[in-house]
């Protein structure tokens, strides 16, 4: 009889263990999945922020990102996010902004109302690495015909008269003006002050299951 009782006891204990595991799994499996997915999302977010910061640090130090070898540095920084030089799932937008004051207008021979963008922050350089069709900068978007091959914009073209002093498309609309009547914005610049802005935008298909299979987009912006 003893062997039979021992066998029954072991079977009972085994059944209890399975039941306990099943009950704990109700809580442990969602917790485990949540930990994994949160970690993945956090890791991708940190990488996107790092791409933006590193690209901005190089841009403010006059690295020419119109050159392919320099663009490739940003692509390498975004490894695992599926961005190419001119396509893929990511876009890095680099922008140089200047606050226009009377001195800038006078230097170009513009007086009063002829200097359309006086007391406005304007985009003087714009470069895009990656998929240009994926993201449009919220800061502002100058007319592409104004951009030179290195992304710069002249103050005033000697033939057409167009440039960042006169063309309203060059205005950085999300920044505030520092003139006689300042407007609210994300950053206040005084006359002749410059800022460099780096934006990184990535769509991450690997995280779509976190959002009911809808696209998950990550965005970060840095001012220098």
Q: What is the mean pLDDT of the chain?
A: 85
Q: Which pLDDT band, with edges at 50, 70 and 90, does 42 fall under?
A: confident
For residue 121, give both structure tokens.
């922050």
In 78-222, alpha helices (H):
102-107
- Mean pLDDT for 76-94 is 95
Could you tell me if 126 and 142 are in contact, meaning their C-beta atoms sit under 8 angstroms apart?
yes
Q: What are phi and psi of 134, to 5 degrees?
A: -85, -35
Could you tell me if 90 and 134 are in contact, meaning their C-beta atoms sit under 8 angstroms apart?
yes
pLDDT digit string (tens) for 182-216?
A: 566 778 888 899 999 999 999 988 766 655 666 78
pLDDT value, residue 136: 93
What Å distances lie between residue 45 and 56, 62, 139, 209, CA to CA? Answer: 17, 26, 21, 16
| Cα–Cα distance measured from residue 216 to residue 224, given in angstroms and rounded to the nearest whole number | 27
| Cα–Cα distance measured from residue 201 to residue 139, given in angstroms and rounded to the nearest whole number | 13
Tell me the DSSP string of 29-73. HHHHHHHHHHHHHHHHHHHHHHHHHHHHHHHHTT--TTSHHHHHH
73 has pLDDT over 60: yes
Domain ranges, ordered by start, for the chain: 40-223
pLDDT digit string (tens) for 134-151?
A: 999 989 999 999 999 999
Which residue in 76, 40, 33 sits closest to 216, CA to CA? 40
């Amino acid at each position: 009889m003893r062997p039979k009782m021992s066998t029954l006891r072991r079977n009972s204990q085994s059944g209890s263990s399975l039941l306990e595991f099943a009950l704990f799994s109700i809580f442990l499996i969602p917790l485990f999945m949540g930990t994994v997915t949160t970690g993945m999302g956090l890791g991708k977010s940190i990488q996107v922020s790092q791409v933006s910061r590193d690209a901005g640090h190089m841009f403010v130090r006059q690295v020419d990102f119109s050159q392919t070898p320099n663009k490739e540095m940003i692509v390498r920084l975004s490894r695992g996010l599926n961005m190419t030089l001119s396509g893929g799932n990511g876009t890095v937008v680099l922008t140089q902004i200047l606050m226009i004051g009377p001195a800038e207008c006078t230097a170009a021979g513009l007086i009063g109302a002829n200097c359309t963008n006086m007391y406005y922050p304007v985009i003087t350089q714009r470069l895009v690495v990656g998929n240009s069709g994926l993201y449009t900068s919220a800061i502002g978007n100058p007319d592409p015909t104004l951009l030179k091959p290195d992304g710069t914009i002249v103050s005033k073209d000697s033939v057409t008269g167009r440039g960042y002093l006169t063309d309203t498309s060059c205005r950085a609309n999300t920044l505030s003006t520092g003139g006689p009547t300042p407007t609210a914005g994300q950053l206040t610049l005084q006359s002749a002050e410059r800022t460099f802005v780096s934006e990184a935008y990535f769509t991450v298909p690997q995280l779509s299951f976190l959002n009911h299979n809808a696209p998950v987009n990550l965005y970060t912006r840095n001012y220098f």
